[in-house]
């Protein structure tokens, strides 16, 4: 027999996990999440928490069509989506969007390209401490999100993802060099001033997240990402020296740093010889749907530990470029794509 419809079956949020949706419904109805999970899985099985939800049963419980539910809940789709297109773990999204969804925290499985809520000017960022940040003081960030969506549309999600990770690595390495430079026109100075807005030096502990450092370089990273994503520009960078210098000039024009910057030339050379003509990187980890119910509590605990170490390191050194390089969002790309400079000090226990 199908479950009976709940009295107040609020809709799911876009990209929400089924477990998150059931947690909210349970809170709103004063029942346990387990009891709802039991109603939407196979009643003949003894351990419902380990089973995937059955669309027809969830539809009956919520009074919503399985089709409408699947539009919001990626795990309910049939056929299943290409999980490589999503981040491998869930996270919270924009807190202002979530305010429309009662019953508790909304946990979502976001596609790779989703970094900011354009409507509310909120930075969501990569997988991190789950603290969305208001970035209305830096409007370039949400403009960059719009631009990045165009890159996804033009080159496909995989190329755009690889291109942006590469661009993050490039910007972070360049920023790491700023501590050895005195030129005030360097783009790193702009990043420093944005950092001061998001993480004031006199209030680091309350405001710090590594995710915000990604927000700081995001506008420039998005501007150069199409160069790393485009087959044409990858080919250009990987061919003769003359062609590579053309790639370099294009990159300089887009990011706006000094033309005579040797470090930038060296970084591009390293990428061009090691990666430009290689196939695009696939995401290293992919999401496993259903079964194990991921709770916000255990995600928060794990991320909180790493966050503490990063915050401590940043408070001590305030070296944002290196902090980004050792964050898990790009660490894999960094180690595979470029050679770690021996001169850089590495934060222990980075994200
Ligand atoms: Zn929003």
Question: Worst-scoring range by mean pLDDT, 10-19, 114-123, 307-316?
Answer: 307-316
From 53-67, 204-218, 220-234, 291-305, the region with the lowest mean pLDDT: 291-305
Within a domain: 248: yes
Instruction: Tell me, in angstroms, the distance from the centre of ligand 1 to residue 70's CA.
Output: 21
Q: Is 33:91 a contact under the CB 8 Å cutoff?
A: no
Q: Is residue 65 part of a domain?
A: yes
The conformation of residue 102, written as its DSSP 8-state character, comes to: -
Same domain assignment for residues 227 and 79: no
Asked if residue 196 lies in contact with residue 114, where contact means CB atoms within 8 angstroms, the answer is no
Across 205-233, b (16+ Cβ under 10 Å) vs e yields eebbbbbbbbbbbbbbbbbbbbbbbbeeb
Q: Say yes or no: 179 and 325 in one domain.
A: yes
- Ligand 1 centroid – CA 106 distance (Å): 12
| Residue 22 located in a structural domain | yes
The per-residue pLDDT of the chain, averaged, comes to 86
* Whether residue 74 is found in the same domain as residue 169: no
Q: Name the maximum alpha-carbon separation found in the chain.
A: 73
117 CA distance to ligand 1 centroid (A)? 5
- Measured in whole angstroms, the distance separating CA 270 from the mean position of its chain's CA atoms is 25
Residues 28 and 177 in one domain: no
- Give 225-245 pLDDT, tens digit per residue: 999 999 999 999 999 889 998
pLDDT at residue 349 tops 60: no
Contacts of 118 (CB under 8 A, 6+ apart): 142, 145, 146
User: What percentage of residues in the chain have a pLDDT greater than 90?
Assistant: 54
Q: Are 217 and 171 in contact (CB under 8 A)?
A: yes
Phi-psi region of 105 (alpha: psi -120 to 50; beta: other; left: phi over 0): beta
Residue 9 within any structural domain of the chain: no
pLDDT tens digits for 164-182?
Answer: 999 998 898 888 876 666 6
- Tell whether 140 and 33 lie within a shared domain: no
Look at residue 259 and tell me if it is in a domain.
Answer: yes
Which residues are within 5 Å of ligand 1 (an ion), measured at CB?
A: 94, 96-97, 117, 120
Section 112-141 average pLDDT: 94
| Parent domain of 78 | 18-111
Clarify whether residues 152 and 287 are in a common domain.
yes
The continuous run of DSSP H or E covering 117 comes out as: strand 116-117
Q: How far is the CA of 47 from the centre of ligand 1 (A)?
A: 36
Q: How far apart are CA 144 and CA 257, in angstroms?
A: 18
pLDDT, tens only, 235-277: 999 998 899 989 988 998 898 776 566 777 788 888 888 888 9
Q: Which of 349, 348, 351, 344 is nearest to 322 (CA)?
A: 344
Check whether residue 46 and residue 167 sit in a common domain: no
Ligand 1 centroid to Cα of residue 123, in Å, is: 9
The verdict on residue 4 lying in a domain is: no
What domain count does the chain have? 2
- Interatomic CA distance for residues 125 and 152, integer angstroms: 17
| CB proximity list for 291: less than 8 A, separation 6 or greater | 50, 51, 52
| CA 97–ligand 1 middle distance (angstroms) | 4
Instruction: Quote the pLDDT of residue 262.
Output: 72
- Report CA(310)–ligand 1 centroid distance (Å): 27
Residue 221 shares a structural domain with residue 105: no
Distance 33 CA to ligand 1 centre (A): 26
Question: Are 103 and 151 in the same domain?
Answer: no
């Amino acid at each position: 027999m199908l479950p009976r419809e709940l009295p107040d079956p609020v809709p799911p949020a876009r990209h929400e996990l089924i477990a998150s949706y059931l947690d909210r419904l349970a809170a709103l109805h004063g029942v346990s999440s387990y009891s709802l999970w039991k109603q939407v899985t196979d009643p003949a099985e003894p351990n419902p928490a380990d089973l995937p939800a059955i669309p027809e049963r969830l539809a009956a419980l919520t009074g919503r069509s399985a089709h409408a539910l699947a539009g919001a809940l990626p795990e309910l789709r049939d056929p299943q989506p290409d999980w490589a297109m999503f981040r491998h773990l869930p996270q919270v999204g924009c807190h202002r969007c979530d305010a429309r969804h009662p019953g508790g925290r909304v946990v979502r499985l976001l596609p790779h390209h989703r970094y900011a809520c354009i409507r509310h000017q909120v930075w969501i960022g990569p997988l991190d401490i789950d603290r969305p940040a208001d970035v209305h003081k830096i409007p370039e960030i949400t403009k960059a999100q719009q631009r990045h969506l165009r890159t996804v549309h033009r080159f496909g999600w995989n190329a755009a993802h690889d291109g942006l990770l590469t661009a993050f690595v490039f910007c972070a390495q360049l920023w790491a060099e700023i501590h050895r430079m005195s030129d005030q026109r360097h783009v790193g100075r702009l990043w420093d001033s944005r950092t001061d807005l998001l993480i004031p030096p006199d209030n680091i502990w309350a405001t710090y997240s590594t995710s915000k450092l990604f927000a700081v370089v995001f506008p420039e990273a998005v501007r150069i990402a199409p160069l790393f994503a485009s087959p044409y520009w990858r080919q250009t960078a990987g061919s003769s020296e003359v062609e590579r210098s053309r790639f370099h000039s294009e990159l300089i024009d887009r990011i706006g740093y000094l033309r005579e910057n040797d470090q930038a030339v060296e970084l591009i050379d390293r990428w061009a010889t090691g990666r430009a003509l290689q196939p695009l990187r696939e995401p290293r980890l992919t999401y496993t749907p259903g079964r194990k119910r991921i709770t916000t509590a255990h995600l928060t605990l794990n991320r909180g530990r790493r966050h503490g170490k990063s915050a401590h390191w940043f408070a001590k050194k305030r070296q944002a470029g290196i902090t980004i390089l050792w964050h898990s969002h790009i660490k894999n790309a960094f180690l595979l794509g470029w050679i770690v400079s021996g001169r850089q000090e590495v934060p222990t226990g980075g994200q």
